[in-house]
């Protein structure tokens, strides 16, 4: 896209000012969301986070991939987990809250990308604490590890999933929740609870290149197709899930896979939601050269380079769009959108001022294949919060209820 024509306008080259400064990030962008318990502080409390950030500020720790950053959170996370375990005998409700508080702090410790050995260890600890806490819920989370029957070209042979389903035998309408770059399976309590209230089951997976849990070969643009073939076959053969009522919902970087899935497996889905999704421009050189300035807390260069398996960010800028774009990808079977493949019903939702995944990436899909449904939130950034979920849930209900 020629420079100067982005819908972001002047915001495209504007430096938001927090990059490289934990103090600015905390004081200007994160402290208020923390008080509200919203991204990325779901289920966290200001009283748990503020001392950690003061420590980071006082010690001039600004690199999230430095072990000093990760270690700053661990005493608080581990203390909360221990308090939760001890509280189980006295007050289950307080114990549940403490486990969720611990989960939130573990998440920030491994944020923004699980790109160090310490963060990998922390993620394992987070998952253990999350599942331990969920045992106290009326309807807990269950981890199910299924075979990757269609694995090839370097894929792993097992797919770990989180399952949360209503009580009873089913079969239940199912939301296939596809996580993002920094949000993973233990980070979706609120969504799964909303789905349960509507009588829907949840199947949650991590996307290629973000955790060791996803077996898909991150360097193979076609590995997601094999991954979802194995998952959808498992859903079909699982009695308590209704194979005829499956809707995919991809979050942020996961939206890319929800869009791809809507095309490659359209006959196996009722619908799909690409929420805050990238498709083409987000991995183009012009866009990538500015992402260190936008609203994302720590920039995306390191995370993207590691996610897609490149040796450097320069290599990623040079190759990624050709290899992974759903519109212009040069590998056989990559550009599923531009090839005119039919899609199932597909809803695209985002903020118009998204500086992570350009709104143009959603708009572009209107030029190809099946008609798409779109709702863009004016004056909102990545994901279109807080209004976005108020768009998605009625849309999901209208489809599930129409069957």
Q: Quick one: which H or E segment has residue 158?
A: strand 158-164
In order, the DSSP letters of 63-112 are -TTSHHHHHHHHHHHHHHHHHHHHHTTT-HHHHHHHHHHHHHHHHHHH-S
> Per DSSP, what are the bridge partners of residue 373?
347
Q: Which residues of 115-124 are buried (b: 16+ CB within 10 A; e: fewer)?
A: bbebbeebbb
**Angle formed by the axes of helices 301-308 and 313-324, to 10°?**
60
Among candidates 92, 66, 86, 232, which has minimal Cα distance to 159?
A: 232
Given a contact cutoff of 8 angstroms between Cβ atoms, the answer to whether 143 and 162 are in contact is yes
In order, the DSSP letters of 355-390 are SSS-HHHHHGGGGSSS--EEEEETT--GGGTTTTHH
Q: Quick one: which H or E segment has residue 274?
A: strand 271-275
Residue 221, CA atoms < 13 Å, CB-side half-sphere: 21
Residue 125, CA atoms < 13 Å, CB-side half-sphere: 25
3-class state of residue 265 by DSSP:
coil
Choosing from 252, 272, 343, 362, the catalytic residue is 252
Is residue 195 among the annotated active site residues?
no
Residue 101 burial (10 A CB sphere; 0-12, 13-18, 19+): buried
Cα four-point dihedral sign 363, 364, 367, 373: negative
Is residue 382 among the annotated active site residues?
yes
Choosing from 18, 184, 263, 382, the catalytic residue is 382
Is residue 21 among the annotated active site residues?
no
Residues involved in catalysis: 252, 354, 382
């Amino acid at each position: 896209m020629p420079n100067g024509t982005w819908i972001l306008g002047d915001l495209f080259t504007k430096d938001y000012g927090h990059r490289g400064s934990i103090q600015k990030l905390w004081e200007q962008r994160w402290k208020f969301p923390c008080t509200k318990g919203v991204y990325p502080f779901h289920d966290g409390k200001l009283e748990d986070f503020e001392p950690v950030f003061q420590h980071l500020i006082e010690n001039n720790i600004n690199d999230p991939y430095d072990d000093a950053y990760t270690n700053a959170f661990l005493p608080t996370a581990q203390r909360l987990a221990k308090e939760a375990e001890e509280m189980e005998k006295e007050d289950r409700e307080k114990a549940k809250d403490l486990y969720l508080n611990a989960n939130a702090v573990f998440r920030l410790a491994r944020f923004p990308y699980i790109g160090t050995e310490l963060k990998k260890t922390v993620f394992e600890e987070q998952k253990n604490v999350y599942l331990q806490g969920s045992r106290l819920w009326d309807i807990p989370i269950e981890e199910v590890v299924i075979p990757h029957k269609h694995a090839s070209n370097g894929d792993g042979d097992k797919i770990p999933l989180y399952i949360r389903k209503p009580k009873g035998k089913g079969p239940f309408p199912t939301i296939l929740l596809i996580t993002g770059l920094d949000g993973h399976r233990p980070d979706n309590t609120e969504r799964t609870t909303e789905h349960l209230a509507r009588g829907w089951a949840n199947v949650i997976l991590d996307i290629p290149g973000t955790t060791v849990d996803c077996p898909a070969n991150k360097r193979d643009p076609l590995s997601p197709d094999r991954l979802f073939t194995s998952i959808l076959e498992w859903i079909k053969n699982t009695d308590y899930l209704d194979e005829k009522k499956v809707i995919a919902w991809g979050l942020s970087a996961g939206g890319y896979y929800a869009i791809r899935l809507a095309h490659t497996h359209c006959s196996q889905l009722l619908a799909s939601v690409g929420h805050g999704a990238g498709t083409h421009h987000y991995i183009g050189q012009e866009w990538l050269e500015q992402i260190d300035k936008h609203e994302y807390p720590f920039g995306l260069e390191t995370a993207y380079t590691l996610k897609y398996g490149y040796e450097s960010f320069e290599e990623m800028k040079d190759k990624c769009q050709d290899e992974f774009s759903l519109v212009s990808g040069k590998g056989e079977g990559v550009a599923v959108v531009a090839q005119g493949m039919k899609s199932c019903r597909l809803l695209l939702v985002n903020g118009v001022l998204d500086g992570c995944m350009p709104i143009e990436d959603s708009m572009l899909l209107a030029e190809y294949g099946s008609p798409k449904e779109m709702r863009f939130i004016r004056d909102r950034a990545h994901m279109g919060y807080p209004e976005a979920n108020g768009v998605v849930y009625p849309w999901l209900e209208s489809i599930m209820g129409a069957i």
